[in-house]
Amino acid sequence: MKQLQRARPGPKNAAQRIRPIITRLKRRYPEAKCALDHQDPLQLLVATILSAQCTDARVNLVTKDLFAKYRTAPDYANANPAVFEQEIKSTGFFRNKTKSILGMAQALVERHVGRVPSTMEELVALPGVGRKTANVVLGTAFGINQGVVVDTHVSRIANRLKLTTQKDPVRIERDLMKLVPRKKWADFSHLLIHHGRQICEARKPKCEICPVSELCPSATVGRKRHDATSGRVSSRASSSRAPQTK
Phi, psi of 236, deg, nearest 5: -140, 135
Confidence (pLDDT) at 12: 74
What CA–CA distance (Å, rounded) separates 85 from 92?
10
Question: For the residues 8-14, what does the mean pLDDT come to?
Answer: 68
Confidence (pLDDT) at 164: 97
In sequence order, what are the beta bridge partners of 225?
234
**Which residues are annotated as catalytic?**
132, 151
Confidence (pLDDT) at 154: 98
In the chain, the domains with their CATH numbers are: 11-33+149-215 (1.10.1670.10), 41-142 (1.10.340.30)
Confidence (pLDDT) at 19: 97
Q: b/e string for 71-104 if b means 16 or more Cβ within 10 A?
A: eebeebbebeeeebbebbeebeebeebbebbbbb
CA distances for 1 relative to 135, 145, 199, 205, 231, angstroms = 47, 49, 26, 21, 23
pTM: 0.83
125-162 residue pLDDT tens: 999 999 999 999 999 999 999 999 999 999 999 999 99
